[in-house]
Amino acid sequence: MIKKIGIIAKTQHIKAGESLKELITWLKNRDIEIYLDKETSGIIGEKSQYKRADIPSIVELIIVLGGDGTLLSVARLIEDKDVPILGVNLGVLGFLTEITIGELYPALEKIISGDFTVEDRIMLDACIYREGKIAANYCAFNDVVINRGAIARIVDLEIKINGLYVTTYRSDGLIISTPTGSTAYSLAAGGPIVYPTMNALILSPICPHTLTNRPIVIPDDVKIEINLVTPNEDVLATMDGQVGYSLNYRDTIEIKKAKNTIKLIQAPGKNYYDVLRKKLKWGERL
């Protein structure tokens, strides 16, 4: 029986305040302890002592109210906390936030009683080295993207996997994606759709100068080294499209599977293929 639930909402969403109040009332009627971060509590005029990063360590379940972007930001807060996430979409159906507000309460009845299943999703650990020293370290749930900044020019990226030279991409950039992120930017760049629980990583060059440079799927137990060999260019490494770091010439980005996984609660009565059909409009006549 789940008794402690954290709620993190997309504070800018027009429906967030009303949906949050309804959810809090519903949970309180079932004697559930509710924990809100400062930003989330602010949208209903309340105050909280907790930072958003505090929530995963004090609850048994996190409910995310918003969209896929909100869930991505929460996933990066989990670290080594073994807490499942339930994604609730306040707009259209998402790949990660599969449950709508209308479906939430019947699903929650089962979930708080312990009747639910989770999927373990891998994350990426990205370590940036500058002159042989660690300059920054990040985690990502969907992808790490290396590309040009304001001016769109070709960038040269030398790639090694487990120390073995693979190629030097001449392209607008490179996407290193988890299976979860295979339906995000990687898909738009021509990458494959990979079932989200598979043990794989995807490398997708962005508009490669050589057309034979195609996306490649590799095992998730390897270490990927990316060396920026384009001098004097404005290049960024971006995690999940939300956190960025400026790269210098000869910086190295080391990417591997993170030690910890994200536990996503599966929406009752739905499966991944349902989401693919609806989001990608498979089978619809245009």
Catalytic sites, residue numbers = 68
| Distance (Å, whole) CA 134 – CA 274 | 42
Structure tokens at 104: 């939430």
Q: Which amino acid is at 246?
A: S
Question: Is residue 126 classed exposed, middle or buried when 0-12, 13-18 and 19+ CB atoms within 10 A define those classes?
Answer: buried
Alpha-carbon distance 89 to 64, whole Å? 8
Q: 155-161 and 143-148: which strand pairing? A: unpaired
Determine how many CB atoms are found less than 10 A away from the CB of residue 255: 24
Pairing of strands 4-9, 33-36: parallel
Side-chain half-sphere CA neighbours of 31 within 13 A:
2
